[in-house]
Amino acid sequence: MSAPAAPLRIGNASGFYGDRFDAVREMLTGGELDVLTGDYLAELTMLILGRDRLKDPAAGYARTFLRQLEDCLGLAHERGVRIVTNAGGLNPAGLAAAVRKLAERLGIPVRVAHVEGDDLTAEHPGSLAAHAYLGGFGITACLREGADVVVTGRVTDAALVTGPAAAHFGWGPTDHDRLAGAVVAGHVLECGTQATGGNYAFFRDGDVRRPGFPLAELHEDGSCVITKHDGTGGFVDVGTVTAQLLYETGGARYAGPDVTARLDTVRLGRQGPDRVRIEGVRGEAPPPTLKVGLNKLGGFRNEVVFVLTGLDVEDKAALVREQMTDALAKSPPAQVRWELARTDRSDADTEETASALLRLVVRDPDQQTVGRALSGAAIELALASYPGFHVVAPPGKGAPYGVFEAVHVPQAAVAHAAVLDDGRRIPVPGAPDTRVLDDVPDPVLPDPLPPGPTRRAPLGRVAGARSGDKGGNANVGVWARTDDAWRWLAHELTADRFRELMPESAPLTVVRHVLPNLRALNFVVEGILGEGVASQARFDPQAKALGEWLRSRHLDIPESLL
């Protein structure tokens, strides 16, 4: 029998386009690595890159990555660290060519490959960008052929880990459990410092002023240890890993193009300071279809925020609303939305805390309708409306906004390919076996806590949460830190109770998923984000703080937990 392959150390240096610039150098100099990944893409990023490409057909990739490589490509080459990134965005071939040109100028002998086949824009007329979420085996093919740098377009975030793992360990497409373990590791790494204390409900548990970026020590059986370089900020514990596992997921089946990972099989355990072991992950054949993200321009939007100070806030809001409605009637926008945020306090000792904010947002296919009309109507009220009239900022001329839609296509509809440094193309076939997704039976809940005295307190005193966006839906993952808290949470926080605590979700479909191994509940709120983040349908368009709002709501909590 051959000896098992050495663990693969995969680090991440970017969770989004605009993340910490110095992270690439920090990860390369902070400790041992085999592979360094960078995740630059999100639904909103694809729209931004699509607009870049409209201005310049040679654009469409994350320019920041190229500047980071200029600083660190030599360092990666010296240390033998391979780099895998989705920074290619809408133009992976263009970024790969730019990296080769950079390497030649710097005198660094590296082989650069890229992955393509995700671009389906031509098949979806009217879309600014339409891209399928590819799996990791295109990356695998590039690495097996000796690539030092692999650039992709739209792949799943976890593919940046499954691809290198399959190349290193020799996995094939039917190694479902191993691939599922890598998917879970990739999902923990993909958002960078969110795994090391960033944006964490219990942030006071450690020093998170400058969290280090995470890495996974991945083993041949698909298990891994999540950690970070010694001496870097932040912290890794079961809670930080749980929070990231719940981020932007749904039920027990976490589907992807390579494998469907069963999140209800994940087991976490502390292995030491800043070390959390993930094991037990089971996988199933992936779905027969691939998700395609359609990004379109939805029209133009404009907004103005009126400041209402002191007494009679509701009456002041009613007055200016009536005035603006009359003024806009001459050329009414297609959509008009008002929101009054009662940020004011009675008998406040500062003017700011004595003020409420009334936000007016308008949308229309015509820029002039949302621009000149809104600006004129708002400014003309400067001396003719409620006492103390002023606005946060004058309205502009209106800006374009995007909408996001997810559709699905058969795996065979995508020409997934690895393009090597010498120009050779290697076709990447779809999954050899697939499985249509179906619901997982509801797990058995723990026994409820015995009756006892309760106290009114915020949910966040006994539970953590993390929330995010998937198209027009939001997810809110909630987890308990102790077994007793889980026994209470599993029975108390039903979908109906969630709607009570989150009135905004009351008219919407709310689906609750139970993940006992993580002592967690995952709520999917359908349609709360309208047509996606780029449409900016609500105050918090990506639902980033929806979980913290939930944690601030008060319930009758057993005193034994407090």
What pLDDT digit, counting tens, does each position of 137-181 carry?
999 999 999 999 999 999 999 999 999 999 999 999 999 999 999
The C-alpha torsion from 542 through 336 and 313 to 352, rounded to 10°, is 40
What pLDDT digit, counting tens, does each position of 538-551 carry?
888 899 999 999 99
Which tokens hold the place of 122? 């031509």
Strand 289-309 relative to strand 399-410: parallel, antiparallel, unpaired? antiparallel
* Domain identity same for 195 and 328: no
CA distance 45 to 534: 9
CA distance 403 to 2: 52
Check whether 562 has a pLDDT greater than 70. yes
DSSP 300-326: EEEEEEEEEESS-HHHHHHHHHHHHHH
Asked if 295 contacts 129 with a C-beta cutoff of 8 angstroms, the reply is yes
Res 422: pLDDT:
96
What is the number of alpha carbons within 13 Å of residue 179 lying toward its C-beta? Answer: 28
State the residue for tokens 């209800």.
264
Average pLDDT of the residues of the chain: 95
Res 2: pLDDT:
66
Asked if 359 contacts 320 with a C-beta cutoff of 8 angstroms, the reply is no
* Domain identity same for 397 and 414: no
Render the burial of 307-331: b for 16+ CB within 10 Å, e for the rest: bbbeeebeebbebbbebbeebbeee
* Domain identity same for 311 and 284: no
In a domain, 48, yes or no: yes
Q: Which amino acid is at 213?
A: F
> Who contacts 263 (Cβ-Cβ below 8 Å, separation ≥6)?
184, 245, 249, 251, 252, 253, 254, 515, 518
CA distance 191 to 248: 11
* Domain identity same for 324 and 279: no
Question: Which CATH number do you get for residue 374?
Answer: 3.30.70.360
Calculate mean pLDDT across residues 221-241. Answer: 98
Asked if 370 contacts 363 with a C-beta cutoff of 8 angstroms, the reply is yes
Provide the whole-model pTM. 0.95
| Cα→Cα distances 412→64, 97, 277, 416, Å | 33, 28, 36, 9
Per the rule left: phi > 0, alpha: psi between -120 and 50, beta: everything else, 471 is: left
In a domain, 204, yes or no: yes
* Domain identity same for 17 and 155: yes
Res 100: pLDDT:
98
* Domain identity same for 189 and 309: no
**How many CB atoms lie under 10 A from the CB of residue 385?**
18
* Domain identity same for 53 and 182: yes
* Domain identity same for 56 and 13: yes
What pLDDT digit, counting tens, does each position of 298-334 carry?
999 999 999 999 999 999 999 999 999 999 998 899 9
Q: How far apart are the first and last CA of the chain?
A: 54
In a domain, 27, yes or no: yes
What pLDDT digit, counting tens, does each position of 396-438 carry?
888 888 899 999 999 999 999 999 999 999 999 999 999 999 8
What is the number of alpha carbons within 13 Å of residue 349 lying toward its C-beta? Answer: 0
Burial of 72 (0-12, 13-18, 19+ CB in 10 A): buried
Calculate mean pLDDT across residues 232-243. Answer: 98
Strand 417-419 relative to strand 425-427: parallel, antiparallel, unpaired? antiparallel
> Who contacts 273 (Cβ-Cβ below 8 Å, separation ≥6)?
none
* Domain identity same for 317 and 232: no
**Nearest residue to 110 via CA among 161, 154, 149, 56:** 149
Res 373: pLDDT:
80
In a domain, 432, yes or no: no
* Domain identity same for 31 and 150: yes
Which tokens hold the place of 155? 């792949």
Res 1: pLDDT:
54
Domain range for 555 = 454-561
Res 223: pLDDT:
98
What pLDDT digit, counting tens, does each position of 437-492 carry?
988 888 999 999 999 999 999 999 999 999 999 889 999 999 999 999 999 999 99
Number of domains in the chain: 3
In a domain, 1, yes or no: no
Q: What percent of the chain has pLDDT over 90?
A: 90
Check whether 395 has a pLDDT greater than 90. no
Asked if 520 contacts 476 with a C-beta cutoff of 8 angstroms, the reply is no
In a domain, 445, yes or no: no
* Domain identity same for 119 and 189: yes
* Domain identity same for 102 and 250: yes
Res 536: pLDDT:
77
Asked if 497 contacts 553 with a C-beta cutoff of 8 angstroms, the reply is no
φ/ψ of residue 324, rounded to 5: -70, -35
Vertex 39: Cα angle to 511 and 271 (nearest 5): 75
In a domain, 449, yes or no: no
What pLDDT digit, counting tens, does each position of 46-90 carry?
999 998 998 999 999 999 999 999 999 999 999 999 999 999 999
DSSP 318-385: HHHHHHHHHHHTTS--SEEEEEEE----TT-SSTGGGEEEEEEEEEES-HHHHTHHHHHHHHTTTTSS
CA distance 147 to 114: 9
State the residue for tokens 């390579």.
258
In a domain, 437, yes or no: no
